[in-house]
Structure 1
Amino acid sequence: MKNIRFRRSLSLLLIGMTLTAISSCEKQTDLVPNNSFAEGDAFVTPDRIAQAINGVYSAAQAGAYSADGSNRGYPFGAANTEQQDARGEDVIAVPSFFVITYESTYLANSPNNTSMWETLYAMINRANVVIEGVKTAAASNVITPQLALQYEGEARYLRAMGHHELLVHFARPYGQTPDASHLGVPYRTVGINTPQKVEENLAQGRNSVKECYDKILEDLTFAETNLPATYATANIKVTHATKGAAIAMKTRMYLHMGNWAKVIEEGNKIVSASAPFTSSIGGYTLTASPDGPFASNYGNTESIFSIENNTNRSSGTNGSISAMYSKGPGRALIALSPIIWNAPFWKANDLRRTLLASNDATATVAPRAYFSNKYRDQATFTDANPIIRYAEVLLNVAEASARVNGVNDRALALLNAVRNRSVTTVADQYTLANFTGPNDLISAVLNERRIEFLAEGHRWSDIHRLSTDAVFTTGGIPAKVSYANTTFASWNATTPYTGIRGVTQIPAADYRFVWPIPQSETDNNSVLKGQQNPGWN
């Protein structure tokens, strides 16, 4: 008989055969379960089925932290953003929550990487159970076939998103081998809700990276085909998957694959031919001010898909993005690094320096560092976690266009659409004359990503995908600044940072560049134990 560690090791937190009851999807998603019911009863009425699909969003917002079972925003309520940022060099981990991730001293049983694996697969499993359930419900005429396809599309969108998050942490990037035949992660598509299925799952090993991306794109294309362009309720427009969200996510996937033509093809579905760029699907457009998506988390035109946190359920003071990133009354455990703050490509008069960041000075205490101001509710932690914004789609297409067509008007216009709302001094704005060749323009787009998505958890994904790029690789995990080696003078927007980088670089070839498959998994799964990432055996 397997013990409870075995069950958790596979992240099958639903194998107790219950599905959390969540309120109707045309209201604010109630992330607090009012009750639960057996899986066999979950798909017998339209209302319960709606509650079951909302349960997948609930699993995305808050899984159990492996160290103590608490809600710390794993996988997508907050932790994906915090862990991805802490793996890069553009923030500083202020002791002590994220230092293990920041300094790459994690082990196969460290709670942060273990929790990411376990909660992502728990969410994926819940999505798979729901996919099977809605098909059965449609066959029994409990819901219409059209609604069943929509619900399946929502679940497959989340399933795709979860598997990609696993890939960027636990597998080498797509370009590591010419045909991407190296090991990815197990792509799980069967709901594991019986003891027999648990045993069968132990025989599943890692798919190749190519197989994973193919399956991700298959899921996202299904979602694009079957999801609505929008919903009637404001919050739901942003916090439930839509046709536009599936397309936007496909531009990200193709970017990671280095398939520039497909980035452009998908992007053109939701990016108009010329400025001001708008989408005919979902009505997405950039907000006039760079703080627009954060001043109104759930009511702006730029947020395509975000994970909801609300007053009833959030990751609180020990996990929420507002607590971790923000100065007092936040906990200020993730500071902005002088590496990015002092970067010459970030103009000193850029509005994002004042609208989206601030130092921690008070009337009685001198400033110590700069922190993000994107997440503003330090009282009840209701800030949405932004997963993908329209600004990303524009920059995805801009990069792909520059890689395919060199220096060109469209790539420049897309870059400027994002940048010029913050860089308002005309003399500082880009023209074609600023770029002598494609690499200059691509570099400008990549630099813009570091500024625009600072404190949104994108930096690690870019380090990961670019690690095999002949021109733009960082060479691995860049050297980082230790908080202990800084004073407030370290932050100077007019002078590049030349101080101590107390956390040394880790080359891309080093085993620590990818996380180990958790011990909680390999202890009970002999197939994955034999497929552990090299160096972690």
Structure 2
Amino acid sequence: MKNINIKARKHYLLKMAFLALPLTFVACDTEELLNPVPETSISDKNAFDTPARILGQVNGLYDAMKDGQFYGGRVLVYNEIRGEEYINRLTNGVTGLQTWQQNVQAGTNEVQNLWGSAYAAINRINVFLQGLEDNKAKIDPALYTQYQAEAKFLRALAYHSLVTLYAKPFTADNGASPGLPLRLQAETSTANNDLARSTVAQVYAQILNDLNDAEAGLLLTNGSDLLNTTRAHKNTAIALKTRVYLHMGNYAKVVEEAQKIVAGTVTFSAPTGVPHALQADVAVPFANYTTTESVFSMPMSDLDAPGTQNQLGYYFNAAPTGNGEYYLNTAGIVNDAAWPETDARKTKFIVTAGGNKYLQKFSKPTPFTDYVPVIRYAEVLLNYAEAAARTNDLPKAIELVSAVRHRADATYVFPVEAIATQEALVNTILKERRIELLGEGFRSLDITRTLQTFPEKVGSGISAPAVAPSSSDYVWPMPNSEVATNKAL
């Protein structure tokens, strides 16, 4: 008999029923985006009646994506703590203990809640796309194209986040493994819950279709620093494509996409659209959230915070700034010889408290309103660097990884043996990702896409076993809530 989490199953059914209710109008100007007024319900019969209401639906899509169980914080946290960089301090089952211990089950809260939040966002996007299509005569054609593109970008991001966590890596078998139920139509009831899993390859094909459509339809710029950070534009879609192709092991396509938004030699910037570039100070993107380094982020404010126990600062900051749920593993990257004490990412982001080292990249106090970084230009440069190295363009790869390293430590010289061969350079770039992107939700994804074993972790009287790619624990199981309501699985 299957062990069904009744509460989660009820939540799933209620979620689908909720999505049948009218969408809500969300404020759209800059001030209201950061400090929203309470949402006002609008009947589904007139939710698309005016351009203002349609824009409200667009903003609502972003709001759905930044639910605390998804891009409000938890998807980044879980992808961090599955890796080896952190030790669980408080053994709190509510804040990812089973994820850290590599023993989640189909009924584990985080497995079910993240899935439910992501699919709720996806269905809201699908409902919007259908409503937009049905009411396209009520809006300027240029806005119709833009809004459709924004929705498809968000759907691609949601599906990529799910397929990299709940399905085997594309690189394991070229995407032949079972992937996800690929829901692409608007659902306003539970009538169509039964849907078989598409293969990983089919899910990736849909992600790329959405991103290609998004790139074609998005604006070059959204007109302000805030909107260029918090709403998708053309470079946002391109940047996400470099990540998607990296996970597919299609390194030539990573290079092709990256070259659209990366130009230069010693320093690099985007030649068209929003002029993305690294900031001179590594700390700036985590204090001033709307610089050109931040390609895409989820905005937060005192009136629109991630919610209790979802926030990045709550998990990673030492008390009293945060809750100190996780401290840095002495056997992880923080003590690696490749990360010297002169590096600004160590002097500015690593603090010691109670004998343990903590990441303080997200330093806002409660209610922890740090923007959630989804794509930074530093990641794009490292995606490009790795792809260049794997396609045997070692000089370009060295230039790119050096740009990231020297922004933080201008005097650092990579050892000859670290960059002399393709294999050594790839390993150096992977290590640079561990340093640069620490706390931003990349570590477990880099482990799985490169088919590495999750290392064993020991600390605070608890441990987590090593997990090989052949283990059933290598990826998350499909949640009970889906199995209970989807007879096609």
TM-score, with normalisation over the residues of structure 1?
0.85
What is the aligned residue count?
Answer: 477
Query: In structure 2, how many angstroms separate the alpha carbons of the residues matched to 1:161 and 1:258?
Result: 18
Instruction: Report the counterpart of residue 355 of structure 1 in structure 2.
Output: 348
- What secondary structure sits across from 2:80 in the alignment? helix
Percent identity for Structure 1 against Structure 2: 33
State the Cα distance separating 1:336 from its structure 2 match.
1.8
Residue deviations 1:88-146, cap 9 Å, x none?
111222221221110022221111111110000000000111111112221xx211121
Matched, 1:157 2:153: yes
- What secondary structure sits across from 2:154 in the alignment? helix
Query: In structure 2, how many angstroms separate the alpha carbons of the residues matched to 1:4 and 1:413?
Result: 49
Q: Is the 8 A contact 1:482 1:503 kept in 2?
A: no
Query: In structure 2, how many angstroms separate the alpha carbons of the residues matched to 1:26 and 1:311?
Result: 15
Residue deviations 1:485-530, cap 9 Å, x none?
7xxxxxxxxxxxxxxxx322022111111111111111121112xx
Q: Mapping of 1:73-472 within 5 angstroms? A: 73-95=68-90, 96=92, 97-138=95-136, 141-177=137-173, 179-193=174-188, 195=189, 198-202=190-194, 204-280=195-271, 281-297=273-289, 299-327=290-318, 328-338=320-330, 339-360=332-353, 367-406=354-393, 408-425=394-411, 428-430=412-414, 434-467=418-451
Query: In structure 2, how many angstroms separate the alpha carbons of the residues matched to 1:504 and 1:273?
Result: 44
Q: Is the 8 A contact 1:25 1:54 kept in 2?
A: no
Query: In structure 2, how many angstroms separate the alpha carbons of the residues matched to 1:32 and 1:89?
Result: 41
Q: Is the 8 A contact 1:357 1:372 kept in 2?
A: yes
Q: Is the 8 A contact 2:230 2:296 kept in 1?
A: yes
Higher relative contact order structure (alpha carbons within 8 Å, sequence separation ≥ 6): 2
Matched, 1:505 2:482: no
Amino acid at match of 1:289: D
- What secondary structure sits across from 2:295 in the alignment? strand
Amino acid at match of 1:518: P
Amino acid at match of 1:373: Q
Q: Is the 8 A contact 2:225 2:291 kept in 1?
A: no
Instruction: Report the counterpart of residue 3 of structure 2 in structure 1.
Output: none
State the Cα distance separating 1:245 from its structure 2 match.
0.7
Q: Structure 1 520/317 Cα, relative in aligned 2: closer, same or farther at 3 Å?
A: closer
Q: Structure 1 222/232 Cα, relative in aligned 2: closer, same or farther at 3 Å?
A: same
Match of 1:18 among 6, 22, 29: 22
Q: Is the 8 A contact 2:341 2:347 kept in 1?
A: no
- Which consecutive residues of structure 2, in runs of 5 or more, have no partner in the other structure? 1-5
Amino acid at match of 1:121: Y
Match of 2:44 among 36, 39, 48: 39
Query: In structure 2, how many angstroms separate the alpha carbons of the residues matched to 1:316 and 1:129?
Result: 25
Query: In structure 2, how many angstroms separate the alpha carbons of the residues matched to 1:379 and 1:292?
Result: 20
CA RMSD of aligned residues (A): 2.0
Query: In structure 1, how many angstroms separate the alpha carbons of the residues matched to 2:149 and 2:460?
Result: 44
Q: Is the 8 A contact 2:8 2:112 kept in 1?
A: no
- What secondary structure sits across from 1:358 in the alignment? strand
State the Cα distance separating 1:11 from its structure 2 match.
4.8
Q: Is the 8 A contact 2:102 2:465 kept in 1?
A: no
- Which consecutive residues of structure 1, in runs of 5 or more, have no partner in the other structure? 63-72, 361-366, 468-473, 486-501, 529-537
State the Cα distance separating 1:59 from its structure 2 match.
0.7
Q: Structure 1 23/391 Cα, relative in aligned 2: closer, same or farther at 3 Å?
A: same
Matched, 1:519 2:476: no
